[in-house]
Chains A and B, each alone.
Chain A
Amino acid sequence: NAGVMQNPRHLVRRRGQEARLRCSPMKGHSHVYWYRQLPEEGLKFMVYLQKENIIDESGMPKERFSAEFPKEGPSILRIQQVVRGDSAAYFCASSQKGRDSPLHFGNGTRLTVT
């Protein structure tokens, strides 16, 4: 009965390096969402994916950020050439049927850029 699994839990990168965040959705869920959260703030939508397709990436910066959800394997959020402002908690959520169904969240990856 595993929930949404994210790894790593903590990730430290130096400026200019790449960060890869992984997310395995709940069993039976084919809709994956990535959100970003700064301390003491709410969650900001980044991207919504279904298997092999990006459905909505309106919340994701156009440069340096990319996301994928391949046919096999976890969803990946990739941040290239990280900057200090990328430091945040990144949460992945999954749902069974997209709209009108609750999102189930993982425990996040806390990215620190030094």
Chain B
Amino acid sequence: GESVGLHLPTLSVQEGDNSIINCAYSNSASDYFIWYKQESGKGPQFIIDIRSNMDKRQGQRVTVLLNKTVKHLSLQIAATQPGDSAVYFCAEDNNAGNMLTFGGGTRLMVKP
């Protein structure tokens, strides 16, 4: 869903631990999903994407899981590093328009 202007939810993890960031999407017609990472003062950076015909996709240190039954998306980061500290957004393509719809974001803070 979209942010309503509240402070971003924050996930704080210890360096080296695994991180799991969750996202709920609202449109059951959405068939393409992307995770973005945004560092302070920069634009969103593509991390990984997944199509609705898959339920899991792995990249380098990252895994995206898609549960279409409950409309839930998660991003797992293995062995989290200080450089992973950022705000993470999920985005969905709802198959009706021409744009991605972004969720409200989660701030990941990595403690050394």
A positions within 8 Å CB-CB of B: 4, 6, 33, 35, 38, 40-45, 48, 55-56, 58-59, 91, 93, 98-100, 102-108
Contact = CB atoms under 8 A, between A and B. Distances in A.
Given A42-B102, A56-B98, A102 B2 contact: no
Interface size class of B (residues with CB under 8 A): 20 to 34
A81 B105 CA distance: 31
Interface in B1-48: 2-3, 5-8, 31-32, 34, 36, 41-46
A105 B103 CA distance: 16
Given A45-B101, A56-B97, A104-B46, 19 more contacts: A4-B43, A6-B43, A33-B100, A40-B6, A40-B8, A42-B89, A42-B104, A56-B99, A91-B43, A98-B98, A99-B32, A99-B98, A102-B46, A103-B34, A103-B46, A105-B36, A105-B45, A107-B42, A108-B43
A47 B99 CA distance: 8
B94 to A, nearest CB: 10
| 8 closest A-B pairs by CB | A105-B43, A42-B102, A45-B99, A41-B3, A56-B98, A43-B102, A107-B43, A48-B98
Given A42-B105, A56-B99, A58-B97, A102 B44 contact: no
Interface string B89-112: 101010001111111110000000
A21 to B, nearest CB: 13
A33 B43 CA distance: 13
